[in-house]
């Protein structure tokens, strides 16, 4: 009964969409990277960098959208580093990715201490405010969930559409996908595999950073260290869940977020008084693993994912 | 070399092309011209320089000397893009297709400017459908390439070239992977292409296909153009002789002390699998102290025979016998434990593990033996000692036993494999193309070692496409053609021309009658 009550509240659905938003950005970023054949495990750290730089920019007086741009640029910079190491140098994508995550996370701490040596609690900024779309936001349940969110959430949904269109409806997207499937097919048409892959990693990393910036600029209005809290790793799983397709990955992000919103509310029910709260915290992860097992059986992994390409070799 | 006459009809002209890799001359001084609307076949054994020549033509390699002209324009050397733009389309032996993309996407890849909205799929689809009708290339555009048969994939590759307005199609061993029916369909397509004014270069070593499709044949041997004939003026025997060479230079070899049969096949048949041909009713005896040569154009069942003798496949019918006794179970390990040593055809793929050291590679077949392992622990010192012994005895030039084998030249890698095979004192040696791709010095060395093993009482099977090599080394020669084995011919009892007749598939008919 309680479950049904929760599912019928508008605030539950609104929370689910809000929780999904950063995941959507970062998952789209990871899809772009992996479709081009590069696994980007720097995602966790790049989200931290995005969260920090966006927030810091706004705190220093930049506008909110300026903050988003700064976060994106910072993410692209780490994406550039990742892509130089993994694409032309062909280093292990696992090692480079984890290295980028460590570097980005600790760079954020370092910069924080350097820029704000005196503060004991992190300063707050004025975040993006919800924008209620006239008429549409008054639809029961769906209205508050989809049409009374902050502009960044709308941007997240727009990003899914753009990524899907570019991947499936433009020559560029075709070339990116082919680079992740059979780079020699791309090279034999006179296109640069290196250029395509580096570009994909850089743009994808930019989107990851915007996902991180959502946390400070749209959700929490402040920056603290453990705020990304494994969301990057969830996105890696969401890419698999979505079978490397933007639309399916969007559904996966919403599903995970719904479970997350649900467990918070279940904790406040009479049941929550009897069951340790850690069990509720596990719910979204356990259900995600189940969904992953069920959904990803027939997924088609990009054939050249994690395979470096050297022009001279066969 | 005859001078090439300049004609307005020439779509492609190669002049004085030479290319060396180190000491090996892959192509020397090759001249030919391709006319509009003709199919020429480039015939030659593996290693004759066909692929090198085509890679020069397509701009993958830069020639040492010589020029390529397409439609009267000089092509800049080493630029595949220029060859593509000039209307030269190449269908590689190994396809360059992305399996998870659809047929349509594979064809469209790279044909439009990258920074453009929309793929223009509707117009593209109409054109592809038109092309596939014109050329008889039925494909399902929305299907993922990974789900297609090999023949269908080849059609996609050809469509890719046609979609880019190719006027010259180069097909590198296109029938190697096709079934006979698919080959027939390919030939229909090629005839349509020629009728529409395209020109085709067809690379092959299958004589009957060359006779069926080409109007002119160029024969390459050891990097030289040794013949250019119109198909109407020649036949399979003459081509076979031209291709393998008739000159014989026998190495020093003493009379054989032939002993008892060690490894025998009795009425063995193997069903053909994929591209690997089958075997029909084979009787073969490998006798102690004898080199048995297996001659034949490649792809006629040599691979199946080699796999069968080394235990990789089991006969569907018939018996494998060792020392006159039928073997109940047959596997590579049983073959090894019965003293059958192998020199595999492809030393890089099946002969060695590239990133393993010389020591590790040299004990690959015997690492479980008491010599190299005790209670599950490897005896590293003994393995290293053995590796040093092989390196010294077989003159393997290398920095040391800890070197990864991929750093060695082909000849030195082959010497190590030879040492691995010969050192345990095998009773049978299966040498499949043991000198392919080696320089003259290494060739002589490997051959003299095989002769020495024969003189020590081993039964040697020598599989080669080089008739000179077979005739020079073998005490008895069998010819294999389409999975059938000829009777054994004693040394010197058949001329190259007579063997060529068997290689072309004649002679067997008399047996059947």
Joined tokens for residue A27: 């998952």
- A162 or B348, higher pLDDT: A162
Mean pLDDT of chain A: 91
Give pLDDT, residue B6: 47
CB contact under 8 A, B101 and A178: yes
Best-predicted range by mean pLDDT (B142-151, B172-181, B302-311):
B302-311
By CA distance, what is A195's nearest residue in B?
B114
Give pLDDT, residue B179: 66
Going by C-alpha positions, the residue among A16, A37, A7, A1 that lies closest to residue A244 is A37
Best-predicted range by mean pLDDT (A203-212, A272-281, B67-76, B111-120):
A203-212
Q: How far is CA B173 from the centre of its chain?
A: 10
Give all domains of chain B, ordered by start, each with its CATH number.
10-244 (3.40.50.300), 251-339+427-513 (3.40.50.300), 350-424 (no CATH)
Neighboring chain B residues of A177 at a CB cutoff of 8 Å: 98, 101, 105
Question: What is the band of A155 on the pLDDT scale with cuts at 50, 70, 90?
Answer: very high
Q: Helix A231-241 crosses helix A10-35 at what angle (to 10 degrees)?
A: 80
Neighboring chain B residues of A171 at a CB cutoff of 8 Å: 108, 110-114, 116, 119
Q: With pLDDT > 70 as the criterion, what percentage of chain A qualifies?
A: 98
Strand order in the sheet with B73-74: B24-35, B10-21, B65-70, B73-74
CB contact under 8 A, B96 and A184: yes
Give the best residue of A36, A179, A180, A182 to mutate against chain B (max B CB count within 10 A). Answer: A182
Give pLDDT, residue B201: 94
The pLDDT tens digits of the residues spanning B182-228 come to: 788 899 999 999 999 999 999 887 777 888 899 999 988 888 888 89
Give pLDDT, residue B274: 60
Whether the predicted pLDDT of B247 surpasses 50: no
Best-predicted range by mean pLDDT (A68-72, A180-184, B33-37):
A68-72
- B512 or B31, higher pLDDT: B31
CB contact under 8 A, A182 and B116: no
Give pLDDT, residue B439: 62
Mean pLDDT of chain B: 86
Whether the predicted pLDDT of B297 surpasses 80: no
B59-66 long-range contacts (CB < 8 A, ≥24 apart) are B59/B83, B61/B19, B63/B17, B63/B18, B63/B19, B63/B27, B64/B18, B64/B19, B64/B20, B65/B16, B65/B17, B65/B18, B66/B14, B66/B15, B66/B16, B66/B17, B66/B18, B66/B29, B66/B30
Residue identified by tokens 């590796």 is B387
* Pick from B81, B100, B114: CB nearest A181: B100
CB contact under 8 A, A171 and B113: yes
Give pLDDT, residue B205: 72
Give pLDDT, residue B3: 42
Q: What is the mean predicted confidence (pLDDT) over A59-81?
A: 96
B428 Cβ contact partners less than 8 Å away, ≥ 6 residues apart: B262, B263, B286, B309, B338, B339, B340, B341, B458, B459, B460, B461
Best-predicted range by mean pLDDT (A38-52, A221-235, B417-431):
A38-52
Q: What is the mean predicted confidence (pLDDT) over A52-66?
A: 95
Q: How many CB atoms lie within 10 A of CB A261?
A: 22
Whether the predicted pLDDT of A301 surpasses 90: no
Give pLDDT, residue B59: 82
Whether the predicted pLDDT of A307 surpasses 60: yes
Going by C-alpha positions, the residue among A45, A52, A77, A48 that lies closest to residue A67 is A52
- B216 or B296, higher pLDDT: B216
CA distance B112 to chain A (A): 6
Domain residue spans of chain A: 11-114+150-296
Question: What is the band of A78 on the pLDDT scale with cuts at 50, 70, 90?
Answer: very high
Going by C-alpha positions, the residue among A188, A144, A231, A301 that lies closest to residue B161 is A188
The pLDDT tens digits of the residues spanning B359-415 come to: 999 998 888 888 898 888 888 999 999 999 999 998 888 888 998 988 887 778 888
Neighbour-count burial for A195-213, b at 16+ CB within 10 Å, e otherwise:
ebbbbbbbbbbbbbbbbbb
Whether the predicted pLDDT of B252 surpasses 80: no
- The secondary structure of chain A, three-state, reads CHHHHHHCCHHHHHHHHHHHHHHHHHHHHHHHHHHCCCCCCCHHHHHHHHHHHHHHHHHCCCCHHHHHHHHHHHHHHHHHHHHHHHCCCCCCHHHHHHHHHHHHHHHHHHHHHHHCCCCCCCCCCCCCCCEECCCHHHCCCHHHHHHEECHHHHHHHHHHHHHHHHHHHCHHHHHHHHHHHCHHHHHCCCCCHHHHHHHHHHHHHHHHHHHHHHHHHHHCCCCCHHHCCCHHHHHHHHHHHCCCCHHHHHHHHHHHHHHHHHHHHHHCCHHHHHCCHHHHHHHHHHHHHHHHHHHCCCCCCCCCCCCCCCCCCC
* Rounded distance between C-alpha atoms, residue B170 and residue A144, angstroms: 63
Joined tokens for residue A87: 């694409």
Whether the predicted pLDDT of B4 surpasses 70: no
B451 Cβ contact partners less than 8 Å away, ≥ 6 residues apart: B251, B253, B291, B473
Q: What is the mean predicted confidence (pLDDT) over A94-105?
A: 97
Give pLDDT, residue B5: 46
Q: Give the side-chain half-sphere CA count within 13 A for B69.
A: 19
Give pLDDT, residue B245: 67
- Among A244-248, B24-28, B205-209, the range scoring the smallest mean pLDDT is B205-209
Give pLDDT, residue B1: 39
Q: Sign of dihedral through CA atoms B346, B349, B351, B354?
A: positive
Best-predicted range by mean pLDDT (A43-47, B27-31, B54-58, B214-218):
A43-47
The pTM assigned to this predicted structure is: 0.73
Judged by DSSP in three states, B328 sits in coil
Q: What is the mean predicted confidence (pLDDT) over B501-506?
A: 82
Whether the predicted pLDDT of B45 surpasses 80: no
Give pLDDT, residue B2: 41
Question: What is the band of B289 on the pLDDT scale with cuts at 50, 70, 90?
Answer: very high
Q: What is the mean predicted confidence (pLDDT) over B298-311?
A: 87
Q: What is the mean predicted confidence (pLDDT) over A173-181?
A: 94
Give pLDDT, residue A130: 92
Q: A29, A206 in Cβ contact below 8 A?
A: yes
* Rounded distance between C-alpha atoms, residue B431 and residue B427, angstroms: 13
The pLDDT tens digits of the residues spanning A12-46 come to: 999 999 999 999 999 999 999 999 999 999 999 99
Best-predicted range by mean pLDDT (A69-78, A176-185, B51-60):
A69-78
Give pLDDT, residue A163: 97
* Rounded distance between C-alpha atoms, residue A182 and residue A174, angstroms: 12
Best-predicted range by mean pLDDT (A202-216, A226-240, B182-196):
A202-216
CA distance B176 to chain A (A): 19
Residue identified by tokens 């082959």 is B414
Paired with B291 in beta bridges are B460
CB pairs under 8 A between A and B: 69
Neighboring chain B residues of A175 at a CB cutoff of 8 Å: 109-110, 114
Joined tokens for residue B480: 């294999």
Going by C-alpha positions, the residue among B41, B147, B138, B159 that lies closest to residue B91 is B159
CB contact under 8 A, B98 and A185: yes
H or E, element range at B216: strand B216-221
Fold of A11-114+150-296: ABC transporter involved in vitamin B12 uptake, BtuC (1.10.3470)
Question: What is the band of B343 on the pLDDT scale with cuts at 50, 70, 90?
Answer: very high
Q: B41, B174 in Cβ contact below 8 A?
A: no
Give the best residue of A174, A175, A186 to mutate against chain B (max B CB count within 10 A). Answer: A174
Give pLDDT, residue B437: 66
* Rounded distance between C-alpha atoms, residue B74 and residue A301, angstroms: 43
* Pick from B81, B100, B111: CB nearest A300: B100
Question: What is the band of B249 on the pLDDT scale with cuts at 50, 70, 90?
Answer: very low
Give pLDDT, residue B456: 93
* Rounded distance between C-alpha atoms, residue B86 and residue B89, angstroms: 9
CB contact under 8 A, B96 and A182: yes
- A24 or B498, higher pLDDT: A24
């Amino acid at each position: 009964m309680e479950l049904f009550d929760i599912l019928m509240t508008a605030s539950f659905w609104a929370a689910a969409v809000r929780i999904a938003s950063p995941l959507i950005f970062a998952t789209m970023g990871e899809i772009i990277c992996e479709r081009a054949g590069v696994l980007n495990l720097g995602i966790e750290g790049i989200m931290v960098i995005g969260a920090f730089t966006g927030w810091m920019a706004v705190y220093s007086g930049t506008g909110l959208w300026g903050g988003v741009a700064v976060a994106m640029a910072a993410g692209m910079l780490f994406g550039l580093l990742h892509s130089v190491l993994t694409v032309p140098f062909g280093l292990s994508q696992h090692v480079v990715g984890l290295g980028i995550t460590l570097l980005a996370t600790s760079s954020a701490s370092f910069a924080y201490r350097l820029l704000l040596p005196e503060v004991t609690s992190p300063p707050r900024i004025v975040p993006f405010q919800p924008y209620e779309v006239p008429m549409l936001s008054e639809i029961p349940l769906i209205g508050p969930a989809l049409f009374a969110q902050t502009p960044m959430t709308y941007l997240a949904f727009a990003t899914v559409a753009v990524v899907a269109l570019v991947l499936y409806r433009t020559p560029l997207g075709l070339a990116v996908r082919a680079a992740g499937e059979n780079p020699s097919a791309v090279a034999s048409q006179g296109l640069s595999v290196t250029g395509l892959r580096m570009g994909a990693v850089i743009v994808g990393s930019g989107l990851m950073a915007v996902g991180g910036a959502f946390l400070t600029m749209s959700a929490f209005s402040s920056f603290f260290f453990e705020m990304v809290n494994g969301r990057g790793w969830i996105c890696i799983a969401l890419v698999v869940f979505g079978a490397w397709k933007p639309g399916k990955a969007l559904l996966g992000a919403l599903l995970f977020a719904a479970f997350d919103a649900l467990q918070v509310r279940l904790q406040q029910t009479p049941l929550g008084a009897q069951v340790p709260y850690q069990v509720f915290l596990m719910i979204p992860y356990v259900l995600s693993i189940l969904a992953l097992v069920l959904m990803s059986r027939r997924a088609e992994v990009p054939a050249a994912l994690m395979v470096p390409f050297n022009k001279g070799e066969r | 070399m005859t001078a090439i006459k300049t004609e307005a009809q020439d779509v492609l002209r190669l002049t004085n092309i030479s290319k060396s890799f180190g000491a090996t001359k892959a192509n020397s001084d090759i001249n030919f011209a391709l006319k509009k609307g003709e199919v020429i076949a480039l015939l030659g054994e593996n290693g004759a320089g066909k692929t090198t020549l085509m890679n020069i033509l397509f701009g993958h390699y830069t020639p040492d000397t010589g020029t390529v002209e397409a439609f009267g324009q000089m092509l800049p050397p080493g630029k595949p893009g220029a060859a593509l733009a000039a209307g030269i389309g190449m269908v590689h032996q190994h396809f360059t297709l992305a399996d998870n993309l659809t047929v349509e996407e594979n064809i469209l890849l790279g044909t439009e400017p990258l920074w453009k909205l929309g793929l223009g799929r509707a117009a593209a689809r109409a054109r592809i459908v038109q092309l596939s009708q014109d050329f008889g290339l039925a494909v399902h555009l929305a299907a993922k390439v990974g789900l297609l048969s090999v023949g269908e994939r080849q059609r996609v590759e050809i469509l890719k070239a046609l979609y880019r307005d190719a006027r010259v199609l180069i097909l590198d061993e296109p029938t190697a992977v096709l079934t006979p029916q698919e080959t027939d369909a390919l030939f229909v397509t090629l005839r349509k292409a020629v009728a529409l004014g395209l020109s085709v270069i067809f690379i092959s070593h299958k004589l009957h296909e060359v006779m069926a499709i080409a109007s002119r044949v160029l024969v390459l041997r050891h990097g030289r153009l040794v013949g250019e004939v119109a198909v109407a003026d020649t036949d399979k025997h003459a081509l076979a002789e031209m291709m393998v060479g008739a000159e014989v230079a026998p190495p020093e070899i003493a009379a054989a002390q032939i002993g008892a049969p060690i490894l025998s096949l009795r009425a063995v048949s193997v069903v053909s699998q994929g591209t690997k041909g089958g075997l029909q009713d084979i009787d073969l005896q490998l006798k102690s102290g004898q080199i048995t040569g297996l001659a034949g154009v490649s792809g006629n069942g040599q691979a199946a025979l080699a796999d069968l003798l080394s235990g990789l496949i089991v006969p569907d019918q018939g018996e494998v016998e060792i020392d006159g006794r039928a073997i109940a179970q047959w596997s590579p390990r049983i073959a090894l434990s019965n003293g059958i040593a192998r020199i595999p055809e492809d030393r890089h793929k099946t002969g060695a593990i590239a990133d393993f050291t010389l020591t590790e590679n040299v004990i690959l077949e015997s690492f479980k033996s008491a010599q190299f392992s005790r209670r599950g622990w490897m005896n590293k010192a003994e393995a290293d000692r053995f590796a040093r012994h092989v390196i010294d005895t077989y003159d393997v030039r290398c920095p040391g036993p800890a070197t990864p084998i991929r750093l060695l030249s082909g000849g030195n890698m082959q010497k190590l494999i030879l040492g691995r095979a010969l050192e345990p004192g095998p009773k049978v040696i299966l040498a499949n193309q043991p000198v392919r791709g080696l320089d003259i010095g290494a060739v002589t060395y490997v051959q003299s070692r095989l002769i020495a093993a024969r003189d020590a009482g081993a039964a040697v099977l020598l599989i080669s496409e080089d008739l000179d090599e077979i005739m020079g080394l073998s005490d008895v020669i069998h010819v294999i053609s389409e999975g059938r084995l000829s009777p054994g011919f004693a040394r010197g009892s058949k001329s190259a021309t007579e063997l060529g007749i068997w290689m072309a598939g004649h002679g067997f008919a008399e047996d059947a009658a």
